[in-house]
Chains A and B, each alone.
Chain A
Amino acid sequence: MLGLALGGVFAVSGVGMVVLYRATGVLNLAYGAIGALGSLIAWSMINVFLLPDWLSYLVAVVFGGVASLLYGLLIGPPLAGRDPLVKAVGTLGFLLILLGVMDWVWTDKAHALILPTTQWGFQVSEVTVNVTQILAVGLAVVITAVTEVFLRVTRLGAAMRALANDREATAMLGVPVRRVEAAAWLGSGLIAGATGLLLSTLVGLDAVTLTFLVIAALSAALVARLQSLPVTLVAGFVIGVLQSLVTPFSLVSSYRSITPFVVAIVALLWFARRRPVVLR
């Protein structure tokens, strides 16, 4: 269950990244940092300003959407015609800025943000399974399904899929490209804010940890070749479960942090197995 919960959050993060990539061509490396900063803001609202928990969680999610949207509106357009690598490096700069802000404001103090759903749970064998863990698994499935349906059924979803195929042609057909991209940035950011809250409870509220958990989500997205949401979902679960299964075994426990990379590499090699070797 622990692995499924963690994998669920990896999957949700991966889905958010894939949707954004399909619509804008941007691989958002700042995804984890956006969620981390939202969670730290929520922590401050609860512990420093003594505001209601629900409001703080709401602000964390909204912050994710707004921060992501602002990047998409301000930095996205100037980089729109550039190489995907340049776009990704742009988000890396955004990541470093957010990480610097978190380090400056919240320093190295220990912080904890435990969602109230964690209080409820039931016993399975030796451990307590709590509602936050179930929520993480459920959210992964629901968000993936809803996003998949959204992309297939709605006009906005169709526009996003069209953008993924050919940006120029889509623009010439009269699709408001900027608006569609902004919607993708906003949606992806809202998911980042929500996953940041879940990860704060499941992993711990630590800026560096949450920022770089994007690697696991990225691996899930890579396994899906940045296209398929269901495959991203499954890959996220596989990474989370494998990482948890490896933990108790002393021999390999020390190497468990490479699990996302191993899964991604194995998957990419598998996909490439029938591709002919071309000698130039």
Chain B
Amino acid sequence: MLTTIVNSARGRRAATLLALATGLTLLLAACGGNGGNAGGSSASTGGPVSKCGLGNGKKATGTPVKLGAIVTKQPGTDFTPITGMAQAYFSCVNDNGGINGRPIQYIVDQEQSDPQQVRADAVDLIQNQGILAMVGNTSLIDCSVNNSYYQQQGFYVIGASIEDQCHTSPNYATVNMGPNYSTQGAVQYVVSQGAKKVVIDAANVPGGAAEVHFGIEYAQEKGLATHLFLDDVPITDASGIALRDVQEAGPNGAVVLNFTPPEGLKIVEAAEQQGLIDRVKWGWSTPGNDASVAQALDTPWNGKLGINAELSLVTAKGPDTALYRQVQKKYAPSIALGSFSEMGFVAAEIVTKALLQLPPDQLTKDGVNTAIRNIKDFKTDILCKPWYYGNLPYHVPNNTDLTVTPVNHVMTQKQGCFEIAALPDNNLAAIRAAEVSQHLNTA
């Protein structure tokens, strides 16, 4: 009897604790907010919506098709929204027939800029895990560490680029153009707005200076003075940094940022607090195109921050963009709508469509990677021009983009699609010539 009472009391205590824990968990989960609502949804915008994979509503079963990725996640630098959104798309594909009935298993290794770790991740994914393709890789050092290994293994990676080395390999093509070209795009914007001097402020990370080189080169080609600041992340003195940048730019100058959303936001918020918004023109490379940034910025920034967007506005009405919003809402509500998550979505969409065209016996490492290399003229409304892989010594298939700006807490289009200018160092003249001669995006 005593045992029963004790057990009963314990049971009640356990039930109470469980209820408390459940309540707390639900409350915390609600606390994170739903950034997705800020960008609207397909339901609100209407219009046609693409389908995930086969789009038949049947859950995929059987032996999984393994895909892998390496992604940087460390203080001040977090690219996991890219792989997180790719995972969300694959989950949607798995709920809609998979790859002709087989589910996709997506294995993501997080790294912290340790070359040994990054190489070990690639070896583990390819040799131990037995993945068939690398999709959504976004790392500060993956390209420089693993390019030769991917070539040796016959892998054709579809990633999102940070390093220039991601654009100098025959085995690596990205859905974005990376910070170097994107910063150039932001510089092109501020120059078009009449800036007489360009200050670029970037994260002090491995290759931080190199990844904004094209922006400096473009400004100097236009005969403008330039200055580069590299700041440690996480930023702890944003007010001083904002003031320093504006003072360096001077009257009629411009400040162009190259930071992840949380870090760049600190600087623009600090600029607003100190009344520095109208002292210079402001630009930001692609990471700034993020719903959480638009939501956080107040109306004084309306139309005054030109953000280079390598992909479509998250509120655009195209069918792929509508599907992207639906997938984010259903499968990854904690990931913000923005360029990062769009990159993951596009990379996953490209590889899924390539896999769906393969006969079952070709779902092998060689079969899949050959199919990836043969991709050309992949059309999506998320990119300005069709995407391709092709047989090239280097890849920048996304080389035309647009400029967006926050207006009343929502990103809106400021400039339509424009070409990133060809420069002596950026290979774009040769790449555009190859696009035409090989009919890569003009079919």
Interface residues of A (CB under 8 A from B): 2-3, 5-6, 40-41, 44, 47-49, 101, 104-112, 114, 118, 121, 123, 126-128, 130, 132, 201-204, 206, 208-209, 212-213, 216, 243-244, 247-248, 250, 253-254, 256-257
Contact = CB atoms under 8 A, between A and B. Distances in A.
Given A101-B28, A109-B292, A109-B336, 6 more contacts: A44-B31, A110-B262, A111-B296, A204-B270, A206-B263, A248-B243
Given A44-B32, A105-B29, A118-B273, A2 B239 contact: yes
Contacts of A47: 33, 295
A101 B31 CA distance: 11
Given A123-B275, A127-B274, A127-B275, A244 B237 contact: yes
B237 A6 contact: yes
A203 B30 CA distance: 25
A253 B244 contact: yes
Nearest to A203: B236
B240 A206 contact: no
Given A6-B237, A111-B262, A48 B30 contact: yes
Contacts of A49: 30
B28 A105 contact: yes
7 contacts: A41-B31, A106-B32, A203-B237, A204-B269, A248-B247, A253-B231, A254-B231
A108 B292 CA distance: 10
A110 B296 contact: yes
A105 B276 CA distance: 33
Contacts of B42: none
B75 interface: yes
B240 A244 contact: yes
Given A109-B261, A203-B266, A114 B236 contact: no
Given A47-B33, A108-B80, A127-B243, A114 B266 contact: no
Contacts of B240: 2-3, 243-244, 247-248
A209 B236 contact: yes
Contacts of B296: 110-112
Given A108-B262, A109-B292, A257 B81 contact: no
B33 A209 contact: no
A194 to B, nearest CB: 19
A247 B269 contact: no
B276 A127 contact: yes
A-B CB proximity, top 7 nearest: A204-B266, A247-B240, A112-B296, A128-B275, A110-B261, A44-B31, A109-B292
Contacts of A216: 236
B237 A110 contact: no
Given A109-B336, A111-B296, A244-B240, A40 B275 contact: no
A271 to B, nearest CB: 26
Interface string B324-360: 0000000000111000000000000000000000000
B401 interface: no
B292 to A, nearest CB: 4
Interface string B220-253: 0000000001111011111111011001000000
B236 A253 contact: no
